[in-house]
Amino acid sequence: MTTGAPRTCLINGHIVTVDPDDTDFAPGYLLIEGSRIVALGPMADYRHADDVDELDCTGKFIFPGLVNTHTHSFQTLIRGVGEGLPVWEWFSQALDAVVGNLTVDDAERSAQVSALEAIRSGTTCILDYNYPHPRPGMADAAIRGFRSVGIRMILARGIIDCGDVHSTIINDTDAELEDCQRLINWHHKSDDDTVRVWVAPYTIFSTSRTAFSRAVHLARAHGTGITIHAATPSTLEAAHELFGSTDIAYEKELGALGSNMLLVHCTHLSPVDITTIAESEACVSHNPASNAYLGEGTTPVIDLMSRGIVVGLGTDGPASNNNQDMIAVMKLTALLQKLVHQDPGVISARTVLRMATMGGATCLGWSDEIGSLEVGKRADLIIVNPWLPNTVTFGDPVASLVYSATQENVETVVVNGRFIMKDRLFAELDVADILACAQLEGTALRNRSGLA
């Protein structure tokens, strides 16, 4: 029985489901009705129906959409700022010069560009760690920008109410938490649950104990998530100075760790920290490009996963990457782990793909709806064309995606059953105009910030 919603079937493609059994259908079909997957399987089982629009995917690969667990959208307007600086100097000389000069229009435009970049590189869900709030309305503007493109998103509302870093965007504790509450009330699970709101204490040195504790209680009261930068050289240095412990130990003592906590980076974890994370069932967002760009080390991905800790992937912001290409992140994830362990077999392409899909969905508390191609789940998927010079000749579609593909191979992207990009075109957006405006606005921001 159908719902009356539009029905589209992808036929003849090689479907990589990333389901619990790692099922592939080659060739296979996948039927979308409205926002959901209602059937899929081998082509031998497919029966044509007159009320179904068919899209022939012969010779192409169909994957779940990639999930970017950590970025900062505003940084699309300042790509490359502070290149080569150590992290404390990068904070003070690059970011601190900019964040207080951001406008509401900047927030909307940068989110729009972030969403375009994400979709073009196969990402269907993104968490925006949205921390600069020099004036009211910044988070709402970012949500508008993402919604204008149609990507699934989490707005993680940053909380900065103390410290020396980002002094121009330190706000009153009550005001920060009240705005988090407002955003949850207005936007959480809106637009057919394509928009969610989390809370995001920025760091243990920028968020007071009071604000952090209130954020934890707020997230739990509303059944939503919380995320924080953790176990990096800067957070460890500050934690030892402020608390005489690691930041993970402080977060445990505060009662902040739990299954709704996403810890970002985690490049410098002690064995005790790893045990703490495992016991708390918190998840980790691994951002290999940013970690390398800032010279901060490599997350012990293999050790974490061996302890049952779910690890998702993130690009981090375009000022420390300097893009938001999850395909590039997948390859870098695999290569760095092989390099660190000096073992080419230490991590497989399928493991990396799972980190970028179901791993990310689990990190974001969304694995019941996205992250794999299964009946009943939301239709968030990508169609990859391997018939390009960088991927021919191809065999295993997963290895091709992780090691050979670039964003140019991503041909079509579907979010919540809606074709956002088809044949690499956005039918409802003037992409050239958006990018031209972003370039002008980015230049203006640098001029205002004395970085021209």
Mean pLDDT value of segment 14-42: 98
pLDDT tens-digit readout, 147-160: 999 999 999 999 99
Residue 119 maps to a domain: yes
Tabulate helix, strand, coil % of the chain (nearest 5).
40, 20, 35
Q: What's the pLDDT at 4?
A: 79
Specify the amino acid at residue 452.
A
> Can you give the residue range of the structural domain that contains 193?
66-363
How sure is the predictor about 88, in pLDDT bands with cuts at 50, 70 and 90?
A: confident
Closest CA to 402 of 387, 413, 415, 386: 386
Residue 399 maps to a domain: no
Residue 158 maps to a domain: yes
Percent of the chain scoring above 90 in pLDDT: 93
pLDDT at 1 over 70: no
Specify the amino acid at residue 87.
V
Residue 409 maps to a domain: no
Percent of the chain scoring above 70 in pLDDT: 99
Residue 296 maps to a domain: yes
Determine the length of the chain. 452
Closest CA to 204 of 226, 170, 224, 230: 230
Q: What's the pLDDT at 430?
A: 96
Q: What is the CATH number of the domain that holds 336?
A: 3.20.20.140
Mean pLDDT (the chain) is 96
Q: What are phi and psi of 35, to 5 degrees?
A: -100, 0
Dmax (CA) of the chain: 68
Q: What's the pLDDT at 360?
A: 98
For 305, the token pair is 């996963």
Cα three-residue angle 350-353-358, rounded to 5 degrees: 115
Which positions ≥6 away from 417 have C-beta within 8 Å? 5, 6, 8, 32, 33, 34, 35, 36, 378, 379
How sure is the predictor about 86, in pLDDT bands with cuts at 50, 70 and 90?
A: confident
pLDDT tens-digit readout, 320-345: 999 999 999 999 999 999 999 999 99
Residue 17 maps to a domain: no
Q: What's the pLDDT at 271?
A: 97
pLDDT tens-digit readout, 396-410: 999 999 999 999 999
For 310, the token pair is 């779910």
Q: What's the pLDDT at 91?
A: 84
How sure is the predictor about 66, in pLDDT bands with cuts at 50, 70 and 90?
A: very high
Residue 375 maps to a domain: no
Q: What's the pLDDT at 2?
A: 60
Mean pLDDT value of segment 166-188: 97
Mean pLDDT value of segment 412-424: 98
pLDDT at 92 over 90: no
Q: What's the pLDDT at 199?
A: 98
Domain total of the chain: 1
